[in-house]
Amino acid sequence: MAWFTARHFFLLAVAVYGLSMIYSVFLWRKGFRQDNHVTYFLLLLAFGFHTTAMGIRGFSLNHCPITNLYEATAFIMWTIVTLYLVLGLWSRVRFLGAFASPVLFAIGVFALMPSLDTTHGVRPELPVALTSLHAALMALAYGAFGLSSVAAVMYLTQERNLRYHKLQAVFSLMPPIQRLETAVGRLLLSGFVLLTVGLAIGVLDFAHINNPHAYRGDPKVVWSAVVWLLYLGLIIMRWRFAQRGRRFALGSIGSFAFVLLTFWGTNVLSPLHNP
């Protein structure tokens, strides 16, 4: 029974994410001219293993599993897959999985690094309910941003097909380029709303800390404010100045790349998140 630990279930999930990524290569080579039920069901299977891993870890901690970088990374991955499985019920959006699989596999391999799964615990003075809600909303926000960037990659792929391979774009089963642009915008806006609410709850949570003034310059707090301003700028750029199309898609991809590349470092440097 020693095999059936949270990390082993997560390892199985990452392996299935890898299989989905390999199958996605064939979809790319065929120009997305056939439906991808296989990708959807592979990600559904991985989701089962992933959820089991998080459930085991959560019940062992008796609270939301977000006490270290491994758990936070696994949680963000889980939200991306959850959102995809819901959106993937619409067949024309199901190709998101072919673009998301490589990202999920890469993040999963990174999360399996032993150094990330170190015990930090949570601050005893913080309300468990508020802390868990804050973590869940933030993870959902990052998940929405991740899917927005994936949809942006799909948009750029379709735009390239329309420009250089018009027949490939016509026969492709991916959504029309206009719908992809709408999906990028709506996912980004949904993520921004979740991020705003999550940060607001984090401020309420922050008030329960002994001597909260000592953490006002905390790297993770500053980083969160920068991310919020970054996505606010994208939203203003789209809805106020009508910046759409390729530029907006690149902004969505670049913003999420920034989140992925800096999330781990600021978390490690944060005394607030490493009591």
* pLDDT given at position 171: 43
Based on DSSP, count helices (H) and strands (E) in the chain, helices before strands: 9, 0
Instruction: Please list the ranges in the chain whose pLDDT falls under 70.
Output: 1-3, 29-36, 63, 92, 119-129, 164-175, 207-216, 241-243, 272-275
What sign does the dihedral 119-61-5-104 (CA atoms) show? negative
The enclosing H or E element of 104 equals helix 96-111
- Residue 217 has a pLDDT of 75
Q: Which of 144, 141, 156, 176 is nearest to 249 (CA)?
A: 156
pTM of the entire structure? 0.80
Q: Are 194 and 141 in contact (CB under 8 A)?
A: yes
pLDDT of residue 267: 81
- Cα–Cα distance between 70 and 1 in angstroms, integer? 23
| Tokens 């999963």 found at | 108
Residues in the chain: 275
